[in-house]
A = this chain, B = another copy of it.
């Protein structure tokens, strides 16, 4: 493999001139620059990432950090991962995957102290997230994908669960739905303070009132059997229900089944929305699901971009960006049937 030395020799200039020509950190005369570029081309030279890192104290690698015991990591997370990799690549960075196996602070600490990565993006953020104190103590730039209410001053991007809920309810309300059932994630997740669940819960209560909706919220474990039972019970107890808003991809098929079993059609008798979901999930079903889709690409590009900006000290604001979901109308929503 050719090194910067070979390039310098071939171009008849010094090593540092080549280095500066590459980084652009200082002006180089046009002729030398041309010579250097010519030499690099002929040698098919690529800077050696590791050597560059050692000298510059920046590795151009960031980590995507998952907490231990990934509870139902699904299709949406998958697209976040690939989006993160592509966003990093676009900016000349590499992305490594760190999947913690324990909550032992030393596990993460040791990973960081290897100084292999310049910064990290935290996935699946919870309130009082155990990772945040460690990242702070190690003074490494980081960025939350999600919010931790006990760390309100950190950088984060997140879905705007409040606005998303408002929009979903307003949308259904506009279609004439008055009796709406919101199927949230599990009660355990709620009690553990998991942001999406907590915030959506509060938003549902609030906007049900504001929009004069007769709402019912159910917590539901992430499996179709529980989804079935939950929906069946709702249909039994509140037969006037005309819409389900389901923020729990893994119980969807159970909910649908319960509706069908009851002899109700979608979207004729009942409307169904997969909330904070993804196209990949929606199109697994027939009929395809109307969804409020997480802005995975935008959110992740932002997170990666801002993290890198922070690493490179381009600026120092604390960006906190919330993005509501986008409605994608497919085949499971329609006007309420009021008879």
Contact = CB atoms under 8 A, between A and B. Distances in A.
Nearest to A66: B82
Contact of A286 (B86, B114, B228): B228
Interface in A295-320: none
A82 B68 CA distance: 11
A186 to B, nearest CB: 15
B73 A82 contact: yes
Contact of A113 (B46, B77, B257): B46
Contacts of A49: 114-116
A113 B225 contact: no
Contacts of A253: 253, 284-286
A323 B223 CA distance: 29
Given A61-B96, A97-B95, A116 B75 contact: no
Contacts of A288: 224
Contact of A48 (B114, B224, B249, B286): B114
Contacts of A192: none
A85 B51 CA distance: 25
A149 interface: no
A98 B114 contact: no
Interface string A74-90: 11011001101110010
12 contacts: A46-B113, A51-B54, A61-B116, A74-B280, A77-B78, A78-B78, A82-B97, A82-B99, A84-B97, A250-B283, A250-B284, A254-B286
A110 interface: yes
B115 A1 contact: yes
A74 B74 CA distance: 9
Given A94-B96, A286-B227, A59 B50 contact: yes
Contact of A283 (B51, B70, B98, B224): B224
Nearest to A2: B113
Given A53-B50, A257-B286, A44 B99 contact: no
A268 interface: no
A49 B113 CA distance: 9
Contacts of A82: 66, 70, 73, 97, 99
Contacts of A114: 46-49
A224 B284 contact: yes
B113 A1 contact: yes
Interface in A269-299: 280, 283-286, 288
A86 B101 contact: yes
Nearest to A227: B286
A200 to B, nearest CB: 21
Contacts of A254: 286
Given A86-B101, A89-B99, A99-B85, A115 B224 contact: no
